[in-house]
Chains A and B, each alone.
Chain A
């Protein structure tokens, strides 16, 4: 069947309609809830390195963390979508600086809690914080 003038006009109309639909729908992506920029971008920290450190320091032995193999501990709270939490350990407002402080010295923030001071360096704590704050 050879395309005649009528068929071409229809496919052109259809193409235009689809293009218009895409152009009109594109701004709707701004309606998706998402922070303006990742929190870790403000204070530095490598989330991929943080993922490795979360494995090395055995965080999953006590916490549930989505994306970390075997991380299904129930000693502490689940850490998934950590960026959405208002408080850290019920005492610190959830900011990058407070998270780094908590990760490095939990025994100082809440003396006698089960989470030990494992000797994280500042860089290590930032990397882990960046991983916990990753967009999910």
Chain B
């Protein structure tokens, strides 16, 4: 029975240790300092596995239309570029002041399955600045963003600039018109 007491004491000691770390302010929660390497690996792996497991039963479209890609581009340019940048386009300066920082997404469609991109975009990521876009977008709009992400590996800097120019002259508004962030010129025309 002494082994049971030993196990119980070990758990109690671990709990006490955790309490000291949390309550004692020992965990450095600033974004200005990096995670401990082991914490970073654990958090990153947990995120990947969380997405893979929860996206498993989602049925993704086998292909996307040009209209869906364009609609996804407009939303991306309005809502995502500030954090995630674009081909040849930097994200905003404050996006570099985050831990973890939002990544550039040119390779996203190669790292993740479409249903997993749908899950990440729709459900977001805890303790990062990635919103759960499904709460402010329709299901179709989330899939449009996925459609754009699937097209992104094939878009260069000139392609993206051309799409921006085309969007500026178009009259259809993006879901939330706001100033485009990045190296290009005037913001896209917003309509009431």
Contacts and interface: CB of A to CB of B under 8 A. Distances in A.
| Bound pair (A, B) | yes
B106 A69 contact: no
A119 B93 CA distance: 7
Contacts of B91: 58, 116, 118
Contacts of A112: 88, 156-158
Interface in B69-101: 85-91, 93, 96-101
B106 A57 contact: no
Given A74-B107, A116-B183, A118-B96, A58 B101 contact: yes
Interface residues of B, number: 32
Contacts, number: 70
Interface stretch (B6-14, B16-24, B34-42): B34-42
A58 B103 contact: yes
Contact of B107 (A52, A55, A61, A116): A61
Given A58-B103, A74-B110, A75-B107, A114 B88 contact: yes
A28 B65 CA distance: 64
A113 B157 CA distance: 6
A109 to B, nearest CB: 12
Contact of B88 (A61, A70, A73, A107): A107
B54 interface: no
Q: Which of B37, B93, B101, B104 has the most CB of A within 10 A?
A: B104
Given A56-B96, A69-B44, A73-B107, A116 B101 contact: no
A57 B106 CA distance: 14
A82 B51 CA distance: 33
Interface residues of A, number: 23
B128 to A, nearest CB: 13
A89 interface: no
Contacts of A119: 90, 93
B150 to A, nearest CB: 15
Contacts of B105: 61
Nearest to B89: A116
Q: Which of A70, A114, A115 has the most CB of B within 10 A?
A: A114
A117 interface: yes
Interface string A7-35: 00000000000000000000000000000
A30 B110 CA distance: 44
A52 to B, nearest CB: 6
Contacts of B98: 56
Interface of B: 34, 37, 40-41, 44, 85-91, 93, 96-107, 110-111, 153, 156-158, 183
10 contacts: A56-B97, A57-B96, A61-B104, A69-B41, A107-B157, A113-B88, A113-B157, A117-B90, A117-B183, A118-B91
Given A56-B99, A119-B93, 17 more contacts: A55-B100, A58-B91, A58-B101, A58-B102, A58-B104, A61-B105, A61-B107, A69-B41, A69-B44, A70-B44, A107-B88, A107-B157, A113-B157, A116-B90, A116-B91, A116-B183, A117-B90
Interface of A: 52, 55-58, 60-62, 69-70, 72-75, 107, 112-119
